[in-house]
């Protein structure tokens, strides 16, 4: 289970799902956030090997991770996963969906 990332889901009109999570931590917690990111990446690669790429062009999933160093030493990590069809459904089953 993830300790720092909670995903919010949005769906486009063409059925592509977008899962976004963000965590802003002090430097001493950054490694734990990146462990969550790695857990998501490992799961995606194991569950859907060779299927990463532009979802709009037919790939099952893609990911974007932005790490930003903020004033005062804080580190913000934004992770976005896009998924189509069965990959999106499996992502929700594995990592859940943020409560409304």
Note the pLDDT of residue 98: 55
The total of other beta-carbon atoms located within 10 Å of residue 79's CB is 22
pLDDT for res 97: 64
Which residues of the chain register pLDDT less than 70?
A: 97-100
Does the reported pTM lie above 0.75? yes
CB atoms within 10 A of CB 4: 18
What does the alpha-carbon distance between residue 54 and residue 84 come to, in Å, rounded to a whole number?
10
Strand ranges in the chain using DSSP code E only, listed in sequence order? 8-11, 16-25, 61-69, 75-84
């Amino acid at each position: 289970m993830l300790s720092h990332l909670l995903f919010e889901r949005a769906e486009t009109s063409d059925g592509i799902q977008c899962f976004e999570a963000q965590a802003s931590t002090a430097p001493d917690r950054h490694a734990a956030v990146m462990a969550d990111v790695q857990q998501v990446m490992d799961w995606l690669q194991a569950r859907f090997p060779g299927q990463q790429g532009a979802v709009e062009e037919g790939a099952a999933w893609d990911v974007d991770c932005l790490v930003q160093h903020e004033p005062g030493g804080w580190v913000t990590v934004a992770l976005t996963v896009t998924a189509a069809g069965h990959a999106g459904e499996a992502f929700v089953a594995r990592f859940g969906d943020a409560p409304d």
